[in-house]
Amino acid sequence: MAGYGGETTAARAPGDVIAGRYRIGGRLGRGGMGTVWRAADELLHRQVAVKEMHLPDAGLTEADADKQRDRALREARSVARVRHPHVVVVHDVVEQDGRPWIVMELVDGRSLADLLAEDGPLAPREAARIGAAVAGALEAAHHHGIQHRDVKPANVLIEQAGGRVVLTDFGIARVPGSNTISETGSFVGSPEYTAPERMSGRAAGPESDLWSLGALLCAAVDGHSPFHRESIGEIVHAVALGDITPPASVGPLMPVVRGLLERDPARRMAAAEVRTVLTAYAERGTEPPTPPLPTGPLLPAQAGAQAPAPPFSPAPEPPVPAVPPARKRGRVAVAALAVAVLAVVSGATAAVVVTRGEHDAGATAAVTTPRTVTTAPVPAARTPTTPPTTPTTPAPYPAGFQRITDPLGFSVVLPEGYARDPQPPRTYYWSADHSFRFGEREQPPGNAYEVMRAQDAAGPKVYQGYRDGVITRTVQHGQPAVLWQFTYDGFGDGRGARRTFDLCWTEGGRMYDIWLSAPLSRVEEERHTFDTARATFRTP
């Protein structure tokens, strides 16, 4: 098989055993720096993904071999430092025939790149959910001084069962205390998603990852990066000189995209802020506010940066105006930047990884589910039902839903056919097929966040196979609230794993806790039902 810089020294095939333990199955993906395989861990009896690092076939010096081993160790150490539900888990690093291999968790799903290619662009709300997860992963990585430096759709995985989002491929990450690939004088990365300061070879900090996230959000709702062009030179010009005009399809995400695609790194939104506003929109449809205009001087190298955009009005959605052109003096400065970028790129053409055809899957531990491809046109965007912008405003019931007024005094809109099942202090409502279970509980007022944290900590003892627990601060009925999401193995009735959405808040001197659980295979239907229940829930 072809590798980066030449043929790999040893062809692998299904059935081969690595390090006496990992038996290779099918190939999952291949990129410039490595090939990822499905494998069976014969010691622990679990499925994993193993990444084979590419080495040149001939002329490999000991120094070259050491460099490749250091690369593998750097990637493994990068991920091992960051324990976060949206960062891929590394289990082991082994060596076989002088070649390093990284053993990772197997994420059963597709990359965002594959999803966009096969299903088409996403609705803004789903893009926000994915973007919030990536922002959280970056926030955790940056906390440890690690810069990912290759955030793009091919390196974001979406788990098929529960929709979990995972950031992968830290192969060119900058790790404190170690040299990096790009410091040897060549550029490595994906130009369409690379920040201008990195392209030009200038010092780049964590803010560079946030620029990439802005481009990724645009790609999620529009199908491709706003800097997509036919040649490297055109991409460089778009990033360094062109008007930054996000696609109108970003809709209510425009303030976030504008805040991320700032040429001046000092003006970009921070990962924590991005995560907060995207989570709010993904969960309850609260549109991100237009960020305040930044103050302070521009960086000298960014004297030609574009002015902040005016506030975005989501309805109606006129074509997004181009950002006013920079002053002539700034054009000269940015033109010099473009020349520097072109020099870096032209001197390292072989090192630029541009995904065409098969997606770059250098660390993409994804299982591509076989599917039938048809020639029928796909919709421009999937449109899951979005709850009202203001949860306290009554909305027409979705088709097939009805309002239920419980004897305890609360009311909620649920699908028709739900039956009451009181189990004090909880009140349950079951769907007709006994797959969905809505629950409500009242208790004395308290700190909702602490309550959810305690339940999350007790999760492994209460729920068989408890995993993927995430707690998020939010708002309900104008009051501080907390949303807890998790997966567990289910009721033991043969229907498999379940996903739960649990919202807790204090209102009118009482603490309310409402939740919905459903089979993982129906998580999107569950999300719609929970959003409707949350938006229509009324206290006594």
Mean pLDDT, consecutive 10-residue segments, the chain of 540 residues? Answer: 32 82 87 80 91 63 67 68 83 81 88 94 94 93 86 92 84 49 48 88 86 96 92 86 88 93 91 90 80 41 35 30 33 40 37 31 37 33 41 65 95 96 94 95 89 91 87 86 90 86 93 95 86 92
Q: Is 421 a catalytic residue?
A: no
Give the phi and the psi of residue 269 in degrees, each rounded to 5. -65, 150
Element (H, E) at 113: helix 112-119
Neighbouring residues of 91: CB distance < 8 A, sequence distance ≥ 6: 41, 48, 103, 104, 105
Residue 166, pLDDT score: 92
CATH code of 401-536, in short, is 3.40.1000.10
**CA–CA dist 98, 50 (Å, integer):** 15
- Active site residue: 57, 64, 66, 150, which one? 150
Neighbouring residues of 165: CB distance < 8 A, sequence distance ≥ 6: 86, 129, 130, 133, 134, 156, 157, 158, 159
Enumerate the domain spans of the chain: 2-105, 109-171+187-291+303-312+325-351, 401-536
Domain 2-105 has CATH 3.30.470.20: no
Residue with tokens 């720096």: 33
Residue 11, pLDDT score: 59
Quick count: other Cβ atoms within 10 Å of Cβ 437? 18
Residue 64, pLDDT score: 65
Closest alpha carbon to 388 in 306, 240, 522, 287: 287
Neighbouring residues of 154: CB distance < 8 A, sequence distance ≥ 6: 31, 111, 112, 113, 169, 190, 355, 359, 360, 361, 364
Looking at 3.60.20.10, 1.20.140.10, 3.90.650.10, 1.10.510.10, the CATH number of the domain 109-171+187-291+303-312+325-351 comes to: 1.10.510.10
